[in-house]
């Protein structure tokens, strides 16, 4: 039996090789059924795992010639990744599952792809941490590459926190400056009003 999404995967290969746009790729994916939908459609699903499977596996397979091919593919179709994840951690983790399925025996490729996905903000640090400590990855805990991924994720998060702290300090300084400026203006206004009163009483 043909696997769900096989026909769409073939169409994607053709579209990507013919320099298809992100919008054209999303259009090829739009009719894929969502396995998370219930029969009565009572539960609203935030992402379609089948779309992520088909797109991620197809794109990374086509870009598998080298690191630079993979990076170029991820950058070109960044918009598609963002649309498919719908900004949800669960969808981001599903992308990581696909990366693992494809590259589990090429550990350095795993590291650089996760790093690229973090740098392009397709996935967030929290999603990587949840994925690293997931049941699926328990067999990998003793492998150095997984801890390399965790290390680069923590490093990335630390940089983000430092940036936020710097922005917070800047904002506090600006507020304090504005407050001082307002206070000085009020004092000047009071002095002017007092001077005018004195002038009037002198008359």
What secondary structure does DSSP assign to 130-150, as a single string? HHHTSGGGGGGTT-HHHHHHH
* Signed CA dihedral, 53, 59, 64, 67: sign only: negative
- Whole-number pLDDT of residue 188: 64
- CA 52 and chain centroid, separation: 14
126 pLDDT higher than 50: yes
**Which burial class, exposed, middle or buried, applies to 148 when counting CB atoms under 10 A from its CB (0-12, 13-18, 19+)?**
middle
Question: What distance in Å separates the CA atoms of residue 102 and residue 146, rounded to the nearest whole number?
Answer: 15
Least confidently predicted of 13-22, 30-39, 135-144 = 30-39
Residue identified by tokens 């996760």 is 114
Q: pLDDT category, 190, cuts 50, 70, 90?
A: low
Q: Is the pTM of this model over 0.85?
A: no
- CA 166 and chain centroid, separation: 22
30 pLDDT higher than 80: yes
């Amino acid at each position: 039996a043909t696997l769900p999404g096989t026909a769409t995967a073939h169409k994607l290969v053709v579209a990507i090789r013919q320099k298809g746009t992100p919008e054209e790729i999303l259009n090829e994916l739009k009719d894929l059924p969502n396995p998370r939908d219930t029969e009565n459609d009572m539960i609203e699903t935030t992402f379609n795992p089948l779309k992520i499977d088909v797109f991620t596996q197809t794109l990374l397979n086509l870009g598998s010639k080298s690191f630079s091919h993979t990076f170029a593919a991820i950058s070109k179709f960044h918009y598609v990744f963002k649309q498919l994840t719908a900004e949800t951690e669960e969808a981001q983790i599903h992308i990581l599952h696909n990366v693992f399925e494809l590259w589990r025996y090429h550990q350095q490729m795993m590291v650089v792809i996760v790093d690229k996905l973090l740098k392009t903000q397709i996935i967030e640090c929290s999603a990587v941490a949840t994925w690293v400590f997931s049941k699926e990855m328990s067999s990998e805990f003793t492998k150095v590459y997984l801890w390399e991924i965790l290390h680069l994720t923590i490093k990335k998060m630390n940089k983000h926190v430092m940036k936020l702290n710097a922005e917070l300090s800047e904002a506090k300084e600006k507020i304090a400056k504005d407050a001082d400026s307002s206070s000085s203006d009020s004092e000047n206004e009071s002095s002017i009003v007092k001077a005018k009163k004195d002038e009037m009483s002198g008359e």
